[in-house]
Amino acid sequence: MGVTVRIPPPLRKFTRGAETFESAAHNLVELFEGLEKKFPGIRPALCAADGSPHRFLNIYVNEEDIRFLGGAQCAFRDGDEILLIPAIAGGAELELFPRLR
């Protein structure tokens, strides 16, 4: 059966628009490898060269933050739904909002 990975809009540029990915992965390492095999070039957006997830990538397993499930050591089970959410940061120049200085 495997797991279902939900791909958010910011990462779909790597997946040719695919919103989901079915995987037989049992852990994050296998998941990242499978994603890279299916969608070459996505891996650097998800993890460092050593396979550790970027700190700006939030990962949820069945709507629970993976950090509370053992982090990178979390084992996936058949039927799990995994959500990858890259943190979005930024803001406006202070010159646009002078009262905020």
The Cα 101–Cα 94 span in angstroms is 7
4-13, 17-26, 62-71, 80-89: segment of lowest average pLDDT: 80-89
Q: In angstroms, rounded to a whole number, what is the distance separating the alpha carbons of residues 54 and 11?
A: 14
User: CATH for 3-100?
Assistant: 3.10.20.30
The more confidently predicted of residues 17 and 90 is: 17
Q: CA 38 from chain center: how many Å? A: 15
Which pLDDT band holds residue 88 (cuts at 50, 70, 90)? confident
pLDDT over 70 (residue 99): no
Specify the residue for token string 């396979």.
51
Return the SS3 of 72. Answer: helix
Q: What mean pLDDT is predicted for residues 39-64? A: 92
In terms of Cβ atoms closer than 10 Å to its own Cβ (0-12, 13-18, 19+), residue 63 is: exposed
Cβ neighbour number for residue 57 with a 10 Å cutoff: 15
Question: How far apart are alpha carbons 64 and 11 in whole angstroms?
Answer: 20
6's enclosing H/E stretch is strand 3-6
Kindly tell me if the per-residue pLDDT of 97 is higher than 50: no
